[in-house]
Amino acid sequence: MASRIKPGGLLLTSIRDYDALIAERPTIQEPVFYGRGGDRRIVHQVWDWTGLDRYAAHLYITIHTGRDWTVRHFFSEYRCVLRDELSNVVRASGFSTQKWLMPAESGFYQPLMLAIRDH
């Protein structure tokens, strides 16, 4: 990222709030419903924690079209990146003046990090 941002430029990045999620260790992300009538989707995730900072995510998308329901399943493995960890990497890459904005402050659903590229 540092090679793409001019000195004095702004980096804006976001990550899941893994600081909270590691403490909570949720096993499901509640279903969310999209669409209306005969064209609906239900989306949810199941998380299997495989280590202190790792989990396997199963994404399920259930699609309703007409009379039929179809389920799609996607799988991925994640490593939780904590805010301090990302801050240290960004700082070591030539950025300073970092600031974290939490959802209550920014209105965005995940923590946002702002950093200025050093000269």
pLDDT digits (tens, 9 = 90+) for 44-80: 999 999 999 999 999 999 999 888 999 999 999 999 9
| Continuous segment of H or E residues that includes residue 71 | strand 68-79
Q: Which amino acid is at 102?
A: M
**One domain for residues 60 and 32:** yes
Q: Indicate left, alpha or beta for 112 from its phi (over 0: left) and psi (-120 to 50: alpha).
A: beta
> With pLDDT > 70 as the criterion, what percentage of the chain qualifies?
100
- The range of the structural domain enclosing residue 58 comes to 27-79
Q: Residues 31, 72: one domain?
A: yes
How many folded domains does the chain comprise?
Answer: 2
Percent of the chain surpassing pLDDT 90: 87
Evaluate whether residue 21 is within a structural domain: no
Question: Domain containing 60 — which CATH number?
Answer: 2.20.25
Beta strands in 5-53 (DSSP E): 10-14, 28-36, 39-49
Over the chain, what is the mean pLDDT? 94
Task: Give this prediction's pTM.
Answer: 0.82
Distance, in Å, from the CA atom of 80 to the CA atom of 78, rounded to the nearest integer, reads 6
